[in-house]
């Protein structure tokens, strides 16, 4: 399972814990739309720190950064780009 | 980073499908294509505004200027954010000019506060990577606390004593709004200060808690086209209708609970308990439960009306109060009861600690962050909100009288920590185990916490414990 798929499965699990079994796409807004809240945001932050080595003290944190699968992909790409590290 | 909003934005997680769960007292008109199409026409906009105006006239004192500004924004959606700033400033200065004995003096204080906000925002945006840029909120809140200390300890007979107090008080009312613009200043796509001003006590209303947060949030939830605007406005109209229905129910509730039955209000019951008048345990419970539900009802009416106006202005903000009684955990209730206050605590106190401290130990990290928000942040917010008590009682007595609310904050943070540390499990089958028992337990915890949730500072902590004991038929 690739890492983005892992995030999809993780989101599915978080939604299921809130009793939300409706489908979502990579573009679906999950936090701004209220489907997930700050409780779940904390779990996503920990996942991204542990699996992708993202340091939010460096990048700054805003819930829109993790609002959708696409947004997370962009965050991962930006965090790994050399220009950011320089 | 910009994330596009879905055409039909959703609210919080839905309940499982079922006949009762799908029942709607107010139909989902925003999902009817014909209604959405009509709401985009000139006639449709006029009908929407007229209906909204009717609802506002029932719920809101200053409904005339409010509907005027909403009409302007409806017909000029391209200028929404600029109109929001102009309407907000017009409201701020108009209210100041008509409500105070010395309007020029108060307007000067207001201008000084806004100038301070502009300077802080400009410097945070100018040097985002500097020590100041990375710690703007900490510096701002510490500076405010220092200002309160200076104002409270300065001799009363010097010329600057009163203006300093008045400025501190004015700043306290704008503190969290300025705070949100400082958070926005850190983002690459932040709005310029002119647009931030529209979020400083926006014209649709607020407490000291910014409703619909700050400019960053408004940017993300703004309607991007005519269809999204129509859907958002229809949702606003529905929410206002819902607020009116709850308001009607509230009148019956007040009448039946406090007039038809001999149930004292919570403050009356506490006062009787403090006077050593023996109240039966079930009367104590009745007053506490009545107070709990009364609080939910009044917060719902108030929050729904504000968010309805916000939606009518084209911002698809989440509700402030959303089905609090369906909460299955203490943490979930805190989120559903007063969403924007919880968001304030999370944005200003929880995340800064969570992202920086104890990253090796996840449980400790979580608990410390929860205490930073629900205990320290909560206490700091309410202490700075009630500065008039510091002025009238003096700093030492105001702090001493704050013991009850400090205890409440500590107990609340402990309850939320326990709730968050417990492993989350999927819903068990059956309505009673899945919904009723968890909700009942959550309501019970918050009812008990409410015994200490007073910020009035009328009675010491011991009197609140005495009342708490009465609930279990113990007379201390």
Residues B319, B321, B325: CA angle, nearest 5 degrees? 135
Residue A76: CB atoms within 10 A of its CB come to 18
CB of A51 closer than 8 Å to CB of A79: no
Asked whether the beta carbons of residue A19 and residue B10 sit closer than 8 angstroms, the reply is: no
Contact A57 B342 (CB under 8 A): no
pLDDT score of B466: 92
Q: Percentage of residues in chain B with pLDDT exceeding 90?
A: 68
Cβ-count burial B345-360 (b if 16+ within 10 Å, e if not): bbbbbbbbbbbeeebe
- pLDDT of res. B455: 73
Domain annotation covers residue A21: no
CB atoms within 10 A of CB B251: 9
Of A16, A34, A62, which has the smallest distance from its Cβ to B187's Cβ?
Answer: A62
- Interface A-B, measured as beta-carbon pairs within 8 A, has a size of 79
Closest residue to B426, CB basis, from A16, A37, A45: A16
Q: What pLDDT shows up at residue B143?
A: 96
Could you tell me if A60 lies within 8 Å of chain B, comparing CB atoms?
yes
Burial zone of A59 (CB within 10 Å; 0-12 exposed, 13-18 middle, 19+ buried): middle
Average the pLDDT over each of B143-157, B254-268, B318-332 and give the range with the smallest value.
B254-268
Domains of chain B, residue spans? 76-222, 233-470
* Residue A62 belongs to domain spanning: 3-11+29-81
DSSP state of B207: -
Q: Indicate whether B11 pLDDT > 50.
A: no
| Nearest-angstrom CA–CA distance, A57 and A81 | 16
Report in angstroms the alpha-carbon separations of B297 from B47, B249, B285, B306, B359.
29, 9, 18, 15, 40
Question: What is the average pLDDT value for chain B, to the nearest integer?
Answer: 90
What phi and psi, each to the nearest 5 degrees, are found at residue B315? Answer: -115, 120
Q: At what angle do helices B226-254 and B281-312 cross, to 10 degrees?
A: 160
A39 confidence band (pLDDT: 50, 70, 90): confident
Q: In this model, does residue B472 exceed pLDDT 80?
A: yes
pLDDT for the residue numbered B129:
84
Average pLDDT over residues B223-250: 95
Neighbours of B128 (CB within 10 A): 17
Please check whether residue B138 touches A, CB under 8 A.
no
Cβ distance A39 to B420 less than 8 Å, yes or no, reads yes
What whole-number distance in Å separates Cα of residue B270 and Cα of residue B457? 12
Q: Pick the residue from chain B with its C-alpha nearest to A56.
A: B355
- Convert the pLDDT of each residue in B435-453 to its tens digit: 889 999 999 999 999 999 8
CA gap B85, B195 in Å, rounded: 6
Instruction: Give the 3-state secondary structure of residue B456.
Output: coil
Mean pLDDT of the B283-290 span = 93
In a domain, A70, yes or no: yes
A73-77, B4-8, B27-31, B468-472, range with the lowest pLDDT? B4-8
Least confident range of B33-42, B362-371, B419-428, B439-448: B419-428
User: In chain A, what residues touch B221 (CB-CB under 8 Å)?
Assistant: 32
Model-level pTM? 0.90
Chain A interface includes B335 (CB < 8 A): yes
Per DSSP, helices labelled H in B154-225 are 161-185, 193-196, 215-221
Q: Cα separation of B267 and B276, whole Å?
A: 14
CA distance A49 to A26: 20
The Cα of A7 is separated from the nearest Cα of chain B by a number of Å equal to 18
Nearest CA to B374 out of A39, A60, A59, A61 is that of A39
Q: Is B220 on the interface with A (CB under 8 A)?
A: yes
- Among B237, B333, B336, B229, smallest CA distance to B11 is for B336
Does A34 contact B331 at a Cβ distance shorter than 8 Å? no
Q: Is residue A71 part of a domain?
A: yes
What does the CA dihedral B444, B410, B324, B308 come to, rounded to 10 degrees?
150
Give just the sign of the alpha carbon dihedral B184, B190, B192, B195: negative
Tell if the CB–CB gap between B355 and A71 is shorter than 8 Å.
no
Contact A69, A8 (CB under 8 A): yes
- Of A52, A61, A41, A62, the residue nearest B355 (C-alpha): A61
The stretch B391-401 carries a mean pLDDT of 88
Contact B411, B449 (CB under 8 A): yes
Q: What gap in Å lies between CA B264 and CA B470, rounded to an integer?
A: 14
Tokens in use for B60? 């809101």
Question: Is pLDDT larger for residue B357 or for residue A3?
Answer: B357
How large is the average pLDDT for residues B189-195?
Answer: 93
State whether B13 and A46 contact (CB < 8 Å): no
pLDDT of the residue at B432: 85
Tell me which DSSP letter residue B5 carries.
Answer: P
- Tell me how far apart the alpha carbons of residues B14 and B17 are, in angstroms, rounded to a whole number: 8
Count of domains observed in chain A:
1
Residue of chain A with shortest Cα separation from B346: A38
CB neighbour class for B2 (10 Å; exposed up to 12, middle 13-18, buried from 19): exposed
Task: Tell me, yes or no, whether A60 lies in a domain.
Answer: yes
- pLDDT above 70 covers what percent of chain B? 95
- Across the interface, whether the CB atoms of A35 and B13 are under 8 A apart is answered yes
Q: What mean pLDDT comes out for the span B406-420?
A: 94
Copy the structure tokens of residue B228.
């999204």
Question: Among partner residues B3, B16, B342, which is closest to A19 by beta-carbon distance?
Answer: B16
User: Residue B114: is its pLDDT beyond 90?
Assistant: yes
Sort out which chain A residues have CB atoms less than 8 A from B133's CB and list them: none
Max CA pair span of chain B: 69
Q: Is B448 on the interface with A (CB under 8 A)?
A: no
Rg of chain A over Cα atoms, rounded to whole angstroms, equals 13
Question: What is the C-alpha to C-alpha distance for residues B80 and B146, in angstroms, rounded to an integer?
Answer: 37
Structure tokens at B460: 């010491």
Q: Specify the pLDDT at position B71.
A: 96
B222, β-bridge pairs: B315
Name which of B72, B29, B65, B89 is nearest B240 in CA terms. Answer: B29
């Amino acid at each position: 399972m690739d890492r983005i798929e892992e995030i999809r499965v993780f989101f599915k699990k978080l939604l299921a814990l809130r009793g939300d079994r409706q489908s979502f796409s990579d573009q679906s807004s999950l936090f701004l739309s209220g489907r997930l809240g700050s409780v779940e945001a904390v779990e996503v932050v920990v996942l991204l720190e542990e699996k992708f080595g993202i340091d939010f003290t460096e990048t700054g944190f805003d819930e829109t950064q993790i609002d959708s699968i696409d947004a997370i992909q962009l965050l991962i790409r930006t965090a790994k780009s050399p220009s950011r590290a320089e | 980073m910009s994330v596009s909003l879905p055409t039909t934005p959703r609210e919080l997680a839905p309940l499982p499908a079922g006949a009762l769960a799908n029942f709607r007292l107010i139909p989902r008109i925003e999902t009817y294509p014909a209604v959405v199409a009509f709401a985009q026409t000139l006639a449709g906009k006029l009908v929407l505004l007229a209906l909204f105006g009717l609802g506002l006239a029932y719920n809101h004192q200053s409904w005339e200027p409010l509907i005027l500004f909403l009409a302007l924004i409806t017909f000029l959606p391209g200028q929404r954010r600029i109109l929001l700033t102009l309407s907000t400033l017009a409201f701020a200065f108009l209210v100041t000019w008509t409500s105070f004995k010395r309007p020029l003096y108060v307007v000067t204080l207001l201008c000084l506060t806004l100038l301070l906000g502009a300077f802080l925002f400009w410097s945070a945006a100018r040097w985002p990577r500097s020590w100041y840029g990375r710690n703007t909120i900490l510096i701002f809140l510490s500076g405010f606390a220092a200002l309160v200390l200076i104002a409270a300890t300065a001799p009363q007979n010097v010329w600057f004593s009163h203006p300093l107090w008045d400025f501190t008080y004015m700043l306290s009312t704008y503190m969290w709004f300025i705070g949100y613009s400082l958070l926005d200043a850190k983002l690459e796509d932040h709005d310029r200060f002119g647009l931030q001003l529209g979020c400083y006590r926006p014209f649709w209303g607020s407490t000291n808690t910014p409703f619909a947060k700050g400019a960053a949030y408004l940017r993300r939830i703004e309607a991007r086209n005519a269809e999204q605007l129509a859907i958002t406005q229809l949702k606003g109209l529905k929410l206002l209708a819902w607020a009116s229905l709850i308001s009607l129910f509230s009148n019956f509730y007040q009448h039946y609970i406090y007039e038809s039955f001999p149930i004292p209000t919570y403050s009356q019951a506490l006062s009787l308990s403090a006077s050593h008048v023996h109240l039966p345990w079930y009367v104590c419970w009745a007053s506490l439960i009545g107070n709990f539900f009364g609080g939910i009802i009044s917060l719902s009416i108030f929050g729904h009306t504000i968010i309805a106006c916000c939606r009518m202005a084209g911002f698809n903000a989440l509700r402030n109060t959303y089905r609090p009684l369906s909460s299955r955990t203490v943490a979930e209730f805190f989120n559903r009861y007063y969403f924007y206050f919880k968001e304030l605590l999370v944005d200003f106190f929880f995340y800064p600690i969570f992202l920086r401290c104890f990253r090796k130990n996840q449980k400790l990290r979580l608990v410390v962050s929860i205490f930073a928000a629900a205990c320290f942040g909560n206490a700091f917010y309410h202490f700075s909100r009630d500065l008039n008590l510091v002025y009238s009682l003096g700093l030492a007595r105001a702090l001493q009288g704050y013991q009850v609310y400090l205890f409440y904050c500590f107990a609340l943070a402990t309850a939320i920590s326990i709730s968050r540390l417990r492993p989350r499990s999927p819903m068990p089958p059956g309505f009673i185990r899945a919904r009723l028992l968890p909700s009942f337990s959550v309501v019970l915890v918050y009812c008990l916490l409410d015994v200490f949730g007073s910020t009035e500072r009328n009675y010491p902590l011991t009197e609140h414990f005495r009342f708490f004991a009465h609930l279990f038929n113990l007379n201390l």
